Amino acid sequence: MGQGRKSLENKRGDTIDFDCTEYYINRELSWLAFNHRVLEEAEDEKNPLLERLKFLAITSSNLDEFFMIRVGSMKDQEKHGITTPDNKSGMTPRQQLEAVSREAHKMVEKQYRLLHETFIPLLASYGISFVKPEELTEEQHRFVRTYFYDRIYPVLTPMAVDASRPFPMLLNRSVNLAVTLDSERDGKSKLLFAVVQVPSVLPRYIQLPSPEGIAQFILLEDVICHYVDFLFKGNRILSVKPFRITRNADLTLDEEGTEDLLKEIQKELKKRRWSSAVRLEVTCEMDEYMKAILQESLEIEACDIYEVEGPLDLTFLMKFVLSLPGYNELRYRSLPPQPPADFIGENNIFEAIAHKDILVHHPYESFDPVVHFVKQAADDPNVLAIKQTLYRVSGDSPIVNALAKAAENGKQVTVLVELKARFDEENNIVWAKKLEKAGCHVIYGLVGLKTHCKITLIVRQEGQKLIRYVHLGTGNYNDSTARLYTDLGMFTCNEQFGIDASYIFNHLSGYSKPPK
C-alpha cells in the first residue's frame, strides 16, 4: 500500500476506509484485555494452586502500574483541556477514562470473586488460612497482643484531621486506616476523623502459632484495627476501615528544554510520591461518611473509587507464596537452569565465541555466561574497551561491579544507563553515579527517546588485529530476573555485527547519524 493511501479495495471490490475507528482498538482497553489474559492464568486449574495465586498478585501489580502511568497520563490530558481523540480509535481522554473505569471495575470484581470463592476455600483445604482477630485462639490472642505492643505500636502514628491539621499527604500505594471517633468534652459529643498509616516497614502478614500441619496468618492491618483504641485514649472508636490510594506517577519531562536530564528526572521523582490521586480502594464495609471524607480530601471522582471485599492490595500474595515454606506439590516443578553446552569445558569465553556464534535460551540455560563475559573482559589484559547498555539491573549487580572494576583496571568503559526505565529511575541513578565514580563514561540516555536495546560490545587486541565481541539480548542485564523471564541471548564475533554495534554506540554517545 502506497504511502499516504487511506483506503483499499478488498476482493469483493468494497472500499475499506482505514481511517474508520471501528477497525482500531484503543491502547488502554487493549492493555486491560492483556491483563484479563493474565487473570485467566489464575483461573486455569491446570496451573498449581500457589502459582495461580501468584498470577492474581501479578494482575494487581499490573493494575497498579496501569493506574499510575496510563490513567495518570489521561488525567493529565483532561486536566489540561485536551479533547482531541487518540490517533485511530477516536476516543477522547474523557471517553477513554470512562471506558477504562468500566473495564477495570469488572476486572477487580473478578479478582476478588476468585479470591473468596476459589482460593480461600482451596488454601483452607491444605491447612493454609488468614484469620480475623475474632477467630484467634487464646494462645494466638496472647501472641498477637505481645507482637502488637513490641513490634507494631512503637512505629504507629495517629494523624488527626481537623481545622488545624489538614488531611495528611499519604504515600502512593500505602495501606491506611480511616478512623471515626466519638469524643466527649464537657458533656458534649463530637465526631472526629483520623488516619493511621499501616507501616510498610513491617511484614504485611504475621504467622500465628498453630498446630502442626496448619499454617495460619493474620494481616497487619487487622491487628492494628483490633488494637486501634490504644492510639486514641479517651475517645470511643466508632469505625475503623482500611483504604489505599494510587497516585499519578507519570513523569512529565520537558526533555527538549532541559539542560541536565539527570537533574530533571531527580526533580520529577520527588514529585511522584505526592502527586494527585488517581484511584481510591476501600473495603465494602466502609460507611458513606468515611468515603465522602476521603473522596473530598483526595479530590477524586466517584468512578475512581473501587470497593472490594478485602484485603486491599493483593500484590502481597506474591511475597506470601515465595516465602511460604513447603507445599511443593502446589508449585511448578523446579527446573534449575542448565549451563549452555557450548560453554562447557571452555575456560576462555572469547575462544568459545571465536569458534562459533552461540545462542542461549534463558531461564532454561544459565545467565552465568553473560556475567562471565563482562567479568572476564574486566580482567583480560587484551581487552581495550567495553561498551554496554543497561536498562534494568539487579540489586547488587555483578555486571555493574565488573564494569566498575574494568574502568579501575584502565580499560575504556562506556555505559548507557537508561534513566527513564519506568520505576527503576532511582536505582539507575545510583548505579550511574557508582559507575562514574569508578571512571566509566556514563550516558544517561537520549533526549526524547528511551533506549531499550540490550547490547554489550567488547574490543579485544588479538595479535595485530582488533576483534569485536558482541552480546545481544532480548532481556535486561539482570541476573535475578534472568532466572524467571524467558529471553534469548547471542554471543558473536561476526565482523558485521561488531561494526553495527560500534555504529550504535557512536550514535548513543556522539552526534553521528544512525546507520540505515
pLDDT digit string (tens) for 103-128? 999 999 999 999 999 999 999 999 99
What number is the average pLDDT over the span 430-438?
Answer: 80
- What are the beta bridge partners of residue 281? 244, 306
Taking the C-alpha atoms of residue 370 and residue 399, their distance in angstroms, rounded to an integer, is 9
Amino acid at 63: L
pTM of the predicted structure, to 2 decimals? 0.82
CATH 3.30.1840.10 assigned to domain 132-246+268-312? The reply is: yes
Residue-level pLDDT at 252: 60
State the pLDDT confidence band at 446, using cuts at 50, 70 and 90. Answer: confident
**Where exactly are the structural domains of the chain?**
12-125, 132-246+268-312, 341-509
Look at residue 3 and tell me whether its pLDDT is greater than 50. no
- In the chain, what is the greatest distance between 2 CA atoms, to the nearest angstrom? 96
Average pLDDT, the chain: 88
Concatenated DSSP letters for 415-466? Answer: EEE-TTSTT-HHHHHHHHHHHHHHT-EEE---TT-----EEEEEEEEETTEE
Amino acid at 312: L
* Residues with catalytic roles: 452
For residue 212, what is its C-alpha cell? 502442626
Pick from 108-112, 255-259, 386-390, 510-514: least confident: 255-259
Q: Note the pLDDT tens digit of each residue in 366-410.
A: 999 999 999 999 999 999 999 999 888 776 889 999 999 999 999
For residue 249, what is its C-alpha cell? 506517577
What number is the average pLDDT over the span 282-308?
Answer: 94
Amino acid at 85: P
Taking the C-alpha atoms of residue 302 and residue 305, their distance in angstroms, rounded to an integer, is 6
- What are the beta bridge partners of residue 199? none
361's enclosing H/E stretch is strand 358-362
* Architecture of domain 341-509 in this structure: 2-Layer Sandwich (3.30)
Q: 331 CB contacts (<8 Å, ≥6 apart)?
A: 48, 50, 51
Concatenated DSSP letters for 117-156? Answer: IIIHHHHHHTTEEE--GGG--HHHHHHHHHHIIIIIGGG-
For residue 140, what is its C-alpha cell? 494466638
Taking the C-alpha atoms of residue 104 and residue 94, their distance in angstroms, rounded to an integer, is 15
State the pLDDT confidence band at 190, using cuts at 50, 70 and 90. Answer: confident
Q: Classify residue 203 by its DSSP letter.
A: -
Look at residue 216 and tell me whether its pLDDT is greater than 50. yes
Please check whether residue 261 is in contact with residue 207, taking contact to mean a CB–CB distance below 8 angstroms: no
Taking the C-alpha atoms of residue 94 and residue 97, their distance in angstroms, rounded to an integer, is 5
Taking the C-alpha atoms of residue 328 and residue 66, their distance in angstroms, rounded to an integer, is 32
Question: Do 12-125 and 341-509 share a fold?
Answer: no
Residue-level pLDDT at 2: 43
Tell me which of 268 and 204 has the higher pLDDT: 204
CATH of 12-125, one of 1.10.3720.10, 3.40.50.2300, 2.40.50.180, 1.20.58.310: 1.20.58.310
Tell me: cis bond preceding 339? Omega within 30 of 0 counts. no
State the pLDDT confidence band at 461, using cuts at 50, 70 and 90. Answer: very high
Concatenated DSSP letters for 74-93? Answer: HHHHHHTT--PPPTTT---H
Q: What size, in residues, is the chain? A: 516
Q: Note the pLDDT tens digit of each residue in 480-499.
A: 888 888 999 999 999 999 99
CA dihedral 68, 74, 75, 76 (to 10 degrees): 100
Q: Provide the 3-class DSSP secondary structure of residue 40.
A: helix
For residue 306, what is its C-alpha cell? 473501587
Q: Note the pLDDT tens digit of each residue in 33-58.
A: 999 999 999 999 999 999 999 999 99
Taking the C-alpha atoms of residue 259 and residue 266, their distance in angstroms, rounded to an integer, is 13
Residue-level pLDDT at 515: 64
For residue 110, what is its C-alpha cell? 473478578
Residue-level pLDDT at 1: 39
